[in-house]
Amino acid sequence: MSTTWLPCSVYHQNYAQDHAWWQTNFIKGKMLVLFLVLFVGIPLYADSYWLSVCNSVGYTVLGALGVQLLIGFCGQVTLGHAAFLAVGAYTSTLMILEFPWPQFLLDWGLAYPISILVAALVSGVWCVIFGLPSAKVKGFYLILTTMAAQFITVDFLITQYISQIGGRGQAFSLPPGTIKFGPWVIDNDLKVYYLMIVLVTLSCVVMINLLRSRVGRAWVAIRDNDISAEVMGINVVKYKLLAFFVAGFIGGVAGAFWISNLAAISPEHFPWFWSLWLVGVILIGGVGSIHGTVFGSIFMVVVMEVLQLLIMYLMDMGFAWAEPLFMDFLFVKEAAFGLAICAFMIFEPNGLAYRWWQIKNYFNLWPFSY
């Protein structure tokens, strides 16, 4: 069998080959097909509705990557990550609306790109502040400190003070044409989609490379046994705080991206339920897997959209009981979320990424799949 098809017939002669991203021509071909689907196929054939669904998936991936890093790779439980998305969104918004930008930066369309970077840094530092207790506490107590981040940041600081800047009330409206990336005005779902796919790709690449480095190995060692990691010479506090910074940084990117999809931003966009939702995404997708973050995001967003379309179809068919479900779909969505978590914990506790891993192994090891 050709070595370009089955990894079971491939052997490596050096370290670089053993750690290459794409180790066979077949895998390179798969990645090329994926690239064409994401950058050509979906924009060409998807309508505005499904593009908005794709944008929601990308936003969920960006938000869940930080949660995956903390829980899946560093063992630091968090239930307040929506706060750091909110910090990123409000930092970027305030910089666009309130910061006295030099005219040449506005002309070149650099205000929004710079605001994304600043928002990510501010969110990362803010995340580190609430990660400081991880030096002393863990488990249930760390959950409470991360929950405090949500209530202090969104329910107190943003709602009571930051939202009042400029006398706008609770919501910041983003006038058309203010979200620009160079000469590219992001004013429709297709442009938002391209921005999303670039940010998701870059974030995943950075995350994967970090996990392949000494830093990533230190995070995994802390996750598995922090006492043993400290005995081996790992500065546990340093790497924990670094994990919080990177998680907050990516969360800030997610929040800054999401404002490109909104006409106005308010604290209601970042409820505590969204923090729970992101944890559910990685539980369903697979804890400790970048693939799991993507699979879980696709599953959660698409299933909820299909459920809503199903209820609308039942209404059109004349089922009277479907109308109250549509009117209270938020509660239906929360119930479906809970049922999905329970089902996966019982029947697929390792998540969708584990099932994908099994499928790949079956193909890669064929005809010796047993």
Q: Which of 94, 90, 110 is nearest to 102 (CA)?
A: 110
What is the pLDDT confidence band of residue 168, given thresholds at 50, 70 and 90?
Answer: low
Average pLDDT score over residue span 276-298: 94
Q: Are 31 and 22 in contact (CB under 8 A)?
A: yes
Which pLDDT score, from 0 to 100, does residue 332 have? 87
Give the H/E segment covering residue 106.
helix 103-107
What is the pLDDT confidence band of residue 169, given thresholds at 50, 70 and 90?
Answer: low
Q: Which domains does the chain have, with CATH numbers?
A: 47-364 (1.10.3470)
- The residues, ordered by sequence, that sit 6+ positions from 348 with a Cβ below 8 Å of its Cβ are 354, 355
Q: Which is more confidently placed, 295 or 19?
A: 295
Average pLDDT score over residue span 254-274: 90
Q: Which of 142, 356, 125, 113 is nearest to 251 (CA)?
A: 125
Mean pLDDT of the chain: 88
Most confident of 46-60, 133-147, 181-195: 46-60
For 162, the token pair is 């930051």
